[in-house]
């Protein structure tokens, strides 16, 4: 019998890390029950085929496993894409770059110049109860969603944001997408979350914001047209009734592309 060594411990740690990360992403995307189902199926397959040696059931489950990977890739292509993009994103390996670039603080300050114009615009729209939905891209590209609206490609400023979401504007009903330090498009259509635990008081803007935060790693700011409350959807969760300080805090923790 082979001895249990450091390599085996390292192997287990890697598998555990991958499972945990996959669990985290699927929980945020609202597909955690499917993750549990797949995990239970794999456990039954291992027990019946490998441990108990049940040939008939084992052979049937083997057939399912041979095509199961392809089916899972088709069903969860968005989650797999998000997993791979986040795993290789620059912010996860930033500590390596910091060893060679001492001007990181200055670069970060330049990258965060977009935050205050967004905060000012949201506070002004909150006071006038102007509905708004602003999406901030991080690691995962939002090109497909940008194409559903009108391309703006302009520098970020609060006046432009307020004009786009003005009630008589033709673009006010859709979402605005910010990529880096620019407003890329407006009037965009986002995926709608179908989670059953969303309060009824939250309308289509909140469901769309939650949907894009589940499908990607983007953050979405919502200004309620009914109450003027400001919310943010991030990693599949919504934080409501934000003050300007709280909104600035959340936005400062983001890493949009430059």
The average pLDDT across 3-13 equals: 79
What are 134's two structure tokens? 């602003």
Q: When comparing pLDDT for 28 and 46, which is higher?
A: 46
Q: Which residues contact 50 (CB under 8 A, 6 or more apart)?
A: 58
What are 90's two structure tokens? 């620059």
- Using an 8 Å Cβ cutoff, are 119 and 244 in contact? yes
Distance between first and last Cα of the chain: 54
Q: When comparing pLDDT for 250 and 254, which is higher?
A: 250
Give pLDDT, residue 29: 57
**What is the pTM assigned to this prediction?**
0.67
Give pLDDT, residue 95: 46
Give pLDDT, residue 229: 96
What are 115's two structure tokens? 């935050």
**Of 11-25, 65-79, 219-233, the least confident:** 65-79
Q: Exposed, middle or buried: residue 12 (CB in 10 Å: 0-12, 13-18, 19+)?
A: exposed
Helices assigned H by DSSP within the chain: 6-28, 32-45, 55-75, 77-87, 94-98, 104-111, 115-127, 143-146, 158-164, 204-215, 244-252
Give pLDDT, residue 107: 44
State the pLDDT confidence band at 205, using cuts at 50, 70 and 90. very high
- Distances from the Cα of 42 to the Cα of 2, 38, 45, 48, 129, angstroms: 25, 6, 5, 10, 51
CA–CA separation, 166 and 52 (whole Å): 66
State the pLDDT confidence band at 53, using cuts at 50, 70 and 90. confident
Average pLDDT of the chain to the nearest whole number = 81
143-194: per-residue pLDDT in tens? 889 999 999 999 999 999 999 999 888 899 999 999 988 999 999 999 998 7
The average pLDDT across 65-88 equals: 66
CA–CA separation, 4 and 10 (whole Å): 11
The residue among 154, 208, 224, 216 whose CA lies nearest residue 185 is: 154
Count the Cβ atoms, other than its own, within 10 Å of residue 237.
11
**In this structure, what DSSP letter does residue 236 have?**
T
- Would you state the torsion angle of the CA atoms of residues 24, 25, 28, 33, taken in this order, to the nearest 10 degrees? -80
Give pLDDT, residue 102: 47
């Amino acid at each position: 019998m082979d001895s249990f060594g450091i390599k085996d411990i390292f192997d287990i740690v890697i598998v555990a890390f991958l499972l945990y990360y996959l669990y985290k992403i699927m929980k945020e995307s609202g597909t955690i029950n499917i993750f549990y189902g797949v995990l239970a199926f794999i456990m039954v397959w291992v027990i019946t085929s490998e441990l108990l040696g049940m040939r008939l059931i084992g052979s049937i489950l083997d057939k399912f496993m041979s095509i199961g990977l392809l089916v899972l890739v088709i069903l969860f292509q968005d989650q797999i894409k998000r997993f791979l993009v986040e795993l290789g994103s620059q912010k996860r390996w930033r500590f390596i770059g910091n060893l060679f670039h001492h001007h990181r603080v200055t670069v970060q300050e330049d990258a965060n110049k977009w935050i205050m114009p967004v905060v000012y615009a949201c506070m002004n729209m909150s006071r006038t109860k102007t509905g708004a939905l602003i999406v901030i891209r991080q690691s995962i590209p939002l090109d497909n969603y940008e194409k559903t609206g009108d391309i703006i490609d302009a520098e970020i400023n609060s006046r432009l944001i307020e004009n786009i979401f003005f009630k008589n504007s033709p673009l006010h009903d859709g979402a605005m997408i910010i990529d880096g330090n620019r407003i890329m498009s407006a009037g965009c259509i986002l995926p709608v979350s179908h989670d059953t635990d969303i309060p009824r008081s939250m309308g289509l803007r909140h469901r769309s914001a939650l949907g894009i935060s589940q499908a990607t790693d983007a953050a979405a700011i919502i200004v309620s047209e009914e109450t003027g409350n400001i919310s943010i959807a991030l990693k599949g969760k919504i934080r409501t009734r934000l003050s300007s300080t709280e909104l600035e805090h959340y936005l400062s923790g983001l890493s949009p592309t430059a």
